[in-house]
Amino acid sequence: MLWDSKETVQNLLTAFQMSPLALIALDSNMTVKYWNKPSEKMFGWKEEEVLGQAFPIIPDFEAEKFKKMFAGIMAGHSMPSTEAKRLRKDGTLIDAMISPLHGMTAIEM
């Protein structure tokens, strides 16, 4: 599903900004397109450090698993929430619950 209505995108971005949860949006190349304040607090990178950059929070030992999950999401498959290790800017690992947004494969901003 392609979200291309400006109103729909604005509503989604407002919800992202108001969420107390770390929410991150990637494009089809796994480049960061959105990074909210709770993401900054959880992972240590500021929004301006990650926007337009490769997704920085995947540790090497999780890379293949993440790529497979991401490919499935981009193909439109439902993915259950899953636990994973994620990397903070300071190099420490944290336990995270990953919950992909189902049915959403692109946002035109």
pLDDT of residue 79: 82
- Choose which CATH entry (3.30.1490.440, 3.20.20.70, 3.30.450.20, 1.10.3720.10) describes domain 2-107: 3.30.450.20
DSSP secondary structure code for residue 54 in this structure: B
- Rounded to two decimals, the pTM is 0.80
Quickly state the pLDDT bin for 107 (edges 50, 70, 90). Answer: very low
Around Cβ 6, how many Cβ atoms within 10 Å?
Answer: 10
Q: Of 74, 90, 68, nearest to 82 (Cα)? A: 68
pLDDT tens-place string over residues 61-106? 999 999 999 998 888 888 888 899 999 999 999 999 988 875 554 4
Please calculate the CA angle 88-94-29 and round it to the nearest 5 degrees.
55
Beta bridge partners, 24, equal 35
Give dist(CA 24, CA 74) in Å, integer: 15
